[in-house]
Amino acid sequence: MGLLDDAFLKSLWVFHLATGSCNNCDIEALDCLTPRHDIERFGMLLTGSIKHADVLLVTGAVNRQCIPRIKNIYEQMPKPRLVAAIGECALSRGIFIHSYNCPMPLDHVIPVDVYIPGCPPKPEAIIAGLVKLIERRKTNKLTEKV
């Protein structure tokens, strides 16, 4: 399985999903593609289709309307798949914890592999979080996480 791991981790394609966010984390995630931080040199590309993605980047306090769509998208993602929660809202809904339209945090909807805190996390923090994810995968071997 060593070859598969290596191939997988060398070039992770990310799919970005915003679920009721204020767009700050989304912009910082997109900033990673721009010339200053440029994650494309690491092989990470933003894809338009979930079927090509390896990592699902989720931002936003999970909105009631988005919950069925998040589950749908997660199911469509081909294995091996990883989920990264970016920003306070994706971790635990942050300041929107009492909102009537945000019933539960993200990890009650889909399993999350890496949590990147911040409001918004700087692009350096996002890159550091993804690197941690890669490191952990390397030491843990590629088993299907529950």
d(CA 128, CA 28): 13
State yes or no: residue 85 binds another protein (CB under 8 A). no
Q: Does 131 bind another protein (CB under 8 A)?
A: no
Q: Please report how close the Cβ of residue 78 comes to another protein at its closest, in angstroms.
A: 17
Instruction: Confirm or reject binding of residue 66 to another protein (CB under 8 A).
Output: yes
- In this complex, which beta carbon is closest to another protein, that of residue 98 or of residue 141? 98
- Contact predicate 99/93, CB 8 Å: yes
Stretch that binds another protein, among 12-20, 75-83, 128-136, 138-146 (CB under 8 A): 12-20
18 close to 60: Cβ distance less than 8 angstroms? yes
Q: Is residue 101 a contact residue for another protein (CB under 8 A)?
A: yes
Binding of residue 116 to another protein (CB under 8 A):
no
**Phi/psi of residue 59, nearest 5 degrees:** -125, 160
Query: Which of 34, 111, 136, 140 lies at the binding interface for another protein (CB under 8 A)?
Result: 34
Q: What are phi and psi of 16, to 5 degrees?
A: -105, 130
Shortest approach of another protein to residue 136 CB, angstroms? 22
Helix spans in the chain (H):
2-10, 24-31, 67-76, 88-92, 123-140
How would you classify residue 23: left for phi > 0, otherwise alpha for psi between -120 and 50, otherwise beta?
left
List residues near another protein by CB under 8 A: 15-31, 34-36, 46, 48-49, 60-61, 63-66, 69, 92, 94-105, 108, 119-120, 122
